[in-house]
Amino acid sequence: MTEENYFHHALYVDTVQCNGCVHCVRVCPTEAIRVKKGFAVIDANKCVDCGNCYRVCPVKAIKVEQDDLTAIFNYPVRVALIPSVFIGRFAQDIKTETIYGALLKLGFTYVFEVEHGVSTVAEGIRSYIAANPQVRPLISSYCPAVVRLIQVRYPSLADHIIRVKPPVDVSAIYCRKFFEDQGCDPEQTGIFYITPCAAKIAAFKSPVGESKSPLSGVINLDFLYNKVLAIIYQDRKNLTAEFQSPPASAIKWSLTRGEVSCSTVRALAVDGMHEISDILEKIEEGQIKGIDFLEMKACQEGCAGGILTAGNTFLTVANMERRASMKSHTCSCEVSPLHYYQSFLSGLISLSPVEPRSGLKLDQDVEKAMAKLESLRKIELLLPGIDCSACGAPTCHALAEDLVQDKGNISQCPYMDLLSLNRGQISGAEALDHAENVWTGRIKD
Amino acid sequence: MDLDYNIEGGDFTHAGEASSHLKKILKSLNLDSALIRRTVVAMYEAEVNVVAHAWSGTIHVNIQPDHIQIAVRDSGPGITDVELAMQKGYSTASAAVREMGFGAGMGLPNIKENSDFMDITSEPGNGTILKIVNRIKP
């Protein structure tokens, strides 16, 4: 596959809703979005599916591609693989067994929590860190948006990513094997992950470090939350199911510091795309020393802050912490469902190397790139430098980058156009046409 | 292409900004990521040396299609014994500097490790000139 169409994205722009404002353009950590002819356009080679655009869009024009719930009925065995943030999303007066019961009523035949896979992953991470002392710090592969950010913006750190699969993959592999051992055809076992974010949907569609995802499909957590809540409102008393909660420390794995708190090495936890970028820059420059393990989660407070977790992030965190502390007070003699599969799973948890990609180059060829960089620096001196985004690019620098790569026109800048108009180089009508290349149809009206 | 930076002695908060800027430039040139990393690490160490030991300094970077040259000039106390300074673990950093996590005596050895060519000329009492060259392989 060529680098140009390597990435599959779960985020897309609904051009009916999009009004061409630049909120998304300005928050994108990889500067992947431009407004052209009245709509936001996402550059597939730069997008890492972090969802910052989704959060800020005032008209809900950023959509998340997802599997339809009816897709589960293509399989006789239908597993809902739920992350613990899904349980945490519900108010405290709704019992876990009620949520499990509602999922079964929706049509799933089995409900399993992702975090049962945590102990296998934590063990894998521990051995990986011990076996690779020459690379420091090693970075968790947990968050797919972080893995992609490293590929695109910090390619020199690609070999710092710990080549151990995240808990969702381990749990999915376990479920498939478990049902196979029960006599179910693996092809007939549908394993559906309920995702708190878009990055995990993209990771399922085009996995990094795996040839194929062990999942059958991915379902939007927010969508399913609403479905489950509706059933609970209608039939709360009759909903129940047997369930086993993951261990207390595993429940919090998806929260910020969840991985670090299970670690015995020198570790650091960071969340939020901006803070993550700052730390990755410093690591590249050799400024950060004395850290063995780095946990990074694109969303603030980890997956509780996922774009599809919706609701209030801190309430979700509080619910999860409460559940974990209740769990830690119960009998610890429980055997993990994965216990009898440890040796089977430990042979399957490795990821292939993460391929670096270069999302920042001006040109493939060094000499051409240098020439482009020279003209970029000259153009930057001409532009106003106020980063207003009226041109449809996030900053004046980003517009200059577009210009030297023939991806834009200087007339997109309203200040430059005003200058040309004042000098008599263009007519008023031409200036309006130029403006409409960014803001279609809303100026002349 | 030429890039120039001014470094202020004692300003640890902003140490690393010049190397960070150079890194962005090098990334846009589609250079090998290992080369970028080596170059930036070497420059960062040099930057910290100026901040930690000198009163002020300048960095001049010249990028050619086949190599990157970095020249760091500072006004500072200079290095009395360059050979000794090149030894791993040898440091003249003050206790205050060490408290900030710098001054482990790895600066110059680290620069050497991360450059293809390195040269230091120093005039004690006056200042130091450090030159680094990293080759760009086609």
> What local confidence, expressed as pLDDT, does residue A1 receive?
36
What does DSSP assign to residue A75? S
Burial A363-392, CB ≥16 within 10 A → b, else e = beebeebbebbeebeebbeebeeeeebbbb
Most confidently predicted of A4-8, A200-204, B89-93: A200-204
Q: Which residues of B touch A374 (CB under 8 A)?
A: 1
Contact check, Cβ <8 Å, B65/A366: yes
Q: Is the model more confident about A437 or about A47?
A: A47
**Rounded distance, CA A95 to CA A250, Å?**
19
Q: Which of 3.40.50.300, 3.30.565.10, 2.60.40.10, 3.30.479.30 would CATH assign to domain B2-135?
A: 3.30.565.10
What residue in A sits closest to B38 (Cα-Cα)?
Answer: A285
Assess whether pLDDT exceeds 50 at residue A2. Answer: no
Q: Name the minimum distance, in Å, from the CA of A363 to any CA of chain B.
A: 7
Lowest mean pLDDT among A47-61, A130-144, A326-340, B41-55: A326-340
For residue A29 the two structure tokens come to: 């950590």
Contact check, Cβ <8 Å, A358/B27: yes
> What local confidence, expressed as pLDDT, does residue A443 receive?
59
Most distant pair of Cα atoms in chain A: their distance: 83
pTM above 0.95, yes or no: no
Q: Name the minimum distance, in Å, from the CA of B30 to any CA of chain A.
A: 5
Contact check, Cβ <8 Å, B31/A370: no
pLDDT in tens, B15-71: 999 999 999 999 999 898 889 999 999 999 999 999 989 999 999 999 999 999 999
Contact check, Cβ <8 Å, A281/B23: yes
Inform me whether the C-beta atom of residue B100 falls under 8 Å from chain A C-beta atoms. Answer: no
Contact check, Cβ <8 Å, A285/B63: no
Burial A57-82, CB ≥16 within 10 A → b, else e = beeebbebebbebebbeebebbbbbb
Percentage of chain A modeled with pLDDT above 70: 97
* Bond preceding residue A137 cis, omega within 30 of 0: yes
Q: Which residues of A touch B12 (CB under 8 A)?
A: none
What residue in B sits closest to A370 (Cα-Cα)?
Answer: B29
Q: Which 3 state secondary structure label does DSSP give A444? A: coil
Contact check, Cβ <8 Å, B40/A285: yes
Contact check, Cβ <8 Å, A361/B37: no
| ipTM of the modeled complex | 0.81
What residue in A sits closest to B15 (Cα-Cα)?
Answer: A287
Lowest mean pLDDT among A223-227, A285-289, B20-24: A285-289
**Rounded distance, CA A254 to CA A76, Å?**
30
| Rg of chain A on CA atoms, in Å | 24
Q: What domains does chain A contain, in order, with CATH numbers? A: 3-64 (3.30.70.20), 69-346 (no CATH), 366-438 (no CATH)
